[in-house]
A and B are shown apart, each in its own frame.
Chain A
Amino acid sequence: MRGRVLLIRVVQMVFVVVAVVTIAFFVLRIATGDPARLVNPPGTPEEIIAETRARIGTDVSIWQQYVNYLSGAVTGDLGTSFRGSQPVAAAVLAALPNTLILAGLTVFISAVLAIGFGALAAWRPEGFVDRLVLGFASVAQATPAFWLAVVLVLVFSVNLRWFPAIDMTTWKSFVLPITTLVVSLSPILVRTARQSFAETLSEDYMKAARARGLPTWRVLGVHGVKSAALPLITLIGLQLGFLLAGAVVVEAIFNWPGIGKLILDSLASRDFPMIQGGILVAAMVFVLLNFIVDMLYAMLDPRVGAAQA
């Protein structure tokens, strides 16, 4: 029976990706008007514009363009960049891993910090550690990623020269971007973990566990962590968009060759295929990650997988 469920889920995922791409396609076109005109500088003669139109494929109706795009996408052809003529698919797929590394490391480090500090803070609510942790979280949550990145660059690159400010080269070049992203993502994870731990601590089964003589570290570490981790997993799934926003900013500041930078660079030249390609691939990754999050949750929480009756 699981096969049937999986199939339904895959169909849903495909539906979602198609929906995203469709929305992106039409919103972009509606917002901007005639791409052929935008690609050329103002004042270009009409024949050149018509020529451009033919070249980039906008001489047919918008529905036809849409269909062409989709049929191309299914076979892996995401069109050709308006600037130069490199295939979009290749460019996007080359940039993708760089963003994924950033995001992946950030999530991992943030989750570890969240569980650690969340548990510490929830141990004695309203206590000193709790207030400290929450205080830091509040300030970090109010700190924009782009500003923090600039400050870090000022301090560590310009003044202290410990870490490079741009490009993706050695392990050192990872430090500042990841620090920025971790400071940006952790606060909400820490708060949620702390809340979750605190609630778990006051659950009946925790009291019953202590009544059986279980040592406190076990009560917190085994029972507590497993129950508290669940909302954290869901939350990470919900924060993917926010994480991507941070990645875009970080890539811009640190000149990191990821998807964010790719799209930003394509904006000025109105390179629609590249922009759409980036959005499509990002959507696919999102959908996949959400799926993984749901699977992970179901694995950890047996109630989700069980019968209703």
Chain B
Amino acid sequence: MTDLIGSGSQLELDSDRPGRPGSVFKSPMALAGLLGTTVILLAAVLAPALAPHDPTGQNLTDILAPPFWDQAASPEFPLGTDGLGRDVLSRILYGARNSLVISFFAMLLGSSLGLITGLLAGFFGGRIDSIIMRLGDVQLAFPFILLAIAVLGVVPDRRAWHVIVVLGIPGWIIYARVVRSRVLAEKEKNYVAAARAIGASRWRRLFTYVFPSVWQVVPVIALLDFGFLIIMESTLSFLGLGLPPPAATWGGILAEGRRNMVVSPWLPVLPGIAIVLTVLSINLLGDGVAKVIDPSGAKGGFRRFRPRLLQGSEEAAEPAPLLRVRNLSVEFPDQNGTISAVHDVEFDIERGEILGVVGESGSGKSVTASAIIQLIDPPGRVTSGEILLEGEDVVRVSDRRMRQLRGRSVAMIFQNPTASLNPVLTVGYQMREALRAIGIPQEDVDETVVRVLTTVGIPEPTRVVRQYPFELSGGMNQRVMIAMALAAQPQLLIADEPTTALDTTTQEQILTELVDLARSSDISLLLITHDIALVSQYADRILVLYAGEVCEIGPSAQVISQPAHPYTRALLESVPRVEVRIDRLEAIPGELPDPRESRIGCPFAARCPHVMDVCRVTDPFPVEIASGQWAACHLWTENRADVMSS
């Protein structure tokens, strides 16, 4: 399950998987970058063929000719001439050649050194790692630009390779660090340990297993490094420390042009434009490649999407329940289509009751919970339905109103308690902040903090408030979360797998306390879990979800002892129990359905032992089986045969 693995996200979208190389063409920016880079590379390679004149050919009769847009321009020199009458266009083309060649080899030098040292440092660790990292520290403290300047400035016969070495060598550390941290991360993964277990030698593990997952970071860095080096090379040339004259370099052209810049301002400006365009193209290409390798972009954002209400709300005949969910559907659009996470879900929660929601991954239980408090992870959104909390439809209220409701009317606690608290702020700070947000006056805050912490069973509250979340255990942090959630006495508390990440013994303590607290304050509890035994023990009613749809809902005892839906039943029969001896578990065959595929018929049809033809075609509506127990299954709508006897 994605939650157990700790990704925390509600849905594993396709964007979390590496893309295919062809997809670099999808982004217009990356495409522009690719085009620009190609054009410039071609121009540099073909400079001898493209340049109209010899770049070093002086022409003292026609110096400082203006470029083509000026009236006094001569057609021979499209971009004008410099102070010695040399053709600017040709010099820029040859300049491209020189600058790109030098930068390219410098980049190769740095990247090779960096890749090797990073691999060695990361994989072998120990002394090798220490030495390499120590070298890196020295490098960081190095004003290498000064050394570069010094070396190039004093060396008697400056050549291209001097510049390449001086520019390239310091770059190793950038690659090494990134490669090293990738290697460290991959090395810890179980597949490397498994490789060792099957007998792979160290070198085999490094090259066959670790390297293929690591090398991809290098091209991205290399491209951006290439652009950076072009700028550095031009800077050095500008300072007179690059290739000596009469070689054409962009920086050199600019420096020479500067002498005449008042009269001929285009002379220093044009080469700079060439540099900007080149580096910009390379950077855009680099960004495009980075996206291909790691497409998961930031999915942040706070926008809520409010669908149109299709039908009016039903009139409540009896006193309205605390929470009423009707026709709820939630979708997650991504680049490959839409994932339907929740489909036409309906249920109520009464005041003071505990409703347990059971489902596996893809059941939509977490998404439903997030919908109630209007914190669905983007890009998910509610596409239909209503959620009435004490008569107010939270799907459609204003952002401001929703913020008021959160914490005061509805609160939520999450699966991983330590990850739910800001790691760089103390527990006390976050508690005080939470209490202020729900309107507790400043002067009462401190004692309220101590009071609620004591209520949830935290020993020494005054010491705990000064600590950071990572210093406390998972159980303690969850108690802190519960304390914050209950501080305002909300009508509804949503608990999304609150104890899954905790030890068995702690689990029981926390759940019992949570349930006791909820009952004593008449707070309704929506308890979400994958563990059907848990809901049977703690919940008043159970809601069973499968693939985003409701299977069954009813009082716990009834649902457990006489499950009406084949999925509920299969679930009960396939879960190992410690309290009874089981000779053979009845495993449910098949896999969970793909949330991307369109829904036709009952979602459980492919795996159901009682499947009928109608099941594959029509999705059953929930039907009342017994008092308070509903099931969405054709066995109950078609022939009211008693499933439980079969």
Contact = CB atoms under 8 A, between A and B. Distances in A.
A and B touch in the complex (CB under 8 A): yes
Nearest to A12: B137
Contact of A216 (B276, B302, B404): B302
A213 B404 contact: yes
Interface in B145-190: 145-147, 149-151, 153-156, 170
A237 to B, nearest CB: 8
A213 B438 contact: yes
A123 B437 contact: no
Contacts of B251: 144, 146
A205 B420 contact: yes
B298 A198 contact: yes
Contact of B140 (A205, A218, A238, A249): A238
A43 interface: no
Given A143-B276, A205-B419, A125 B297 contact: yes
A195 B299 CA distance: 11
Interface string A221-263: 0110011001000000110110011001100100000011001
A146 B232 CA distance: 10
Contact of A211 (B8, B298, B303, B406): B406
Interface string A9-29: 000100011011001100110
A300 B297 CA distance: 27
A233 to B, nearest CB: 12
B238 A249 contact: yes
Interface string B503-533: 0000000000000000000000000000000
Interface in B251-286: 251, 254, 258, 261-262, 265, 268-269, 271-272, 275-280, 283-284
Chain B interface secondary structure, helix, strand, loop or mixed? helix
B351 interface: no
Interface in B393-450: 403-408, 411-414, 416, 419-425, 430, 433-434, 437-438
A210 B484 CA distance: 12
Contact of A139 (B8, B137, B276, B278): B276
Contacts of A249: 235, 238-239
B155 A31 contact: yes
B172 to A, nearest CB: 13
Interface stretch (A44-52, A63-71, A282-290): A282-290
B141 A290 contact: yes
B423 A218 contact: no
Given A210-B375, A241-B145, A290-B140, A38 B279 contact: no
B145 A24 contact: no
Interface in A259-285: 259-260, 263-264, 267-268, 270, 272, 275, 278-279, 282-283
Nearest to A28: B150
B143 A141 contact: no
B143 A279 contact: yes
B147 A27 contact: yes
B408 A145 contact: no
B137 A248 contact: no
B142 interface: yes
Contact of B151 (A31, A122, A127): A31
Given A32-B156, A150-B272, A241-B143, A223 B422 contact: yes
Interface residues of B, number: 85
A275 B145 contact: no
A48 to B, nearest CB: 19
A147 B421 contact: no
A250 B133 CA distance: 32
B468 A303 contact: yes
Nearest to B439: A213
Interface in B367-401: 373, 375, 377
A211 B394 CA distance: 14
Contacts of A124: 301, 303
A261 to B, nearest CB: 11
B239 A252 contact: yes
Contact of A150 (B261, B373, B408, B422): B261
B97 to A, nearest CB: 18
B142 A123 contact: no
B299 A125 contact: yes
A270 B156 CA distance: 10
Contacts of B235: 144-146, 245, 249
Interface of A: 12, 16-17, 19-20, 23-24, 27-28, 31-33, 38, 122-127, 138-139, 141-148, 150-151, 154, 158, 195, 197-199, 201-205, 207-216, 218, 222-223, 226-227, 230, 237-238, 240-241, 244-245, 248-249, 252, 259-260, 263-264, 267-268, 270, 272, 275, 278-279, 282-283, 286-287, 290, 300-303, 306
Given A138-B287, A306-B468, 7 more contacts: A27-B151, A33-B156, A123-B300, A138-B283, A147-B268, A150-B258, A214-B433
15 contacts: A33-B156, A125-B298, A125-B300, A143-B275, A146-B238, A150-B269, A204-B416, A205-B423, A214-B434, A252-B239, A263-B149, A301-B423, A301-B424, A302-B470, A303-B470
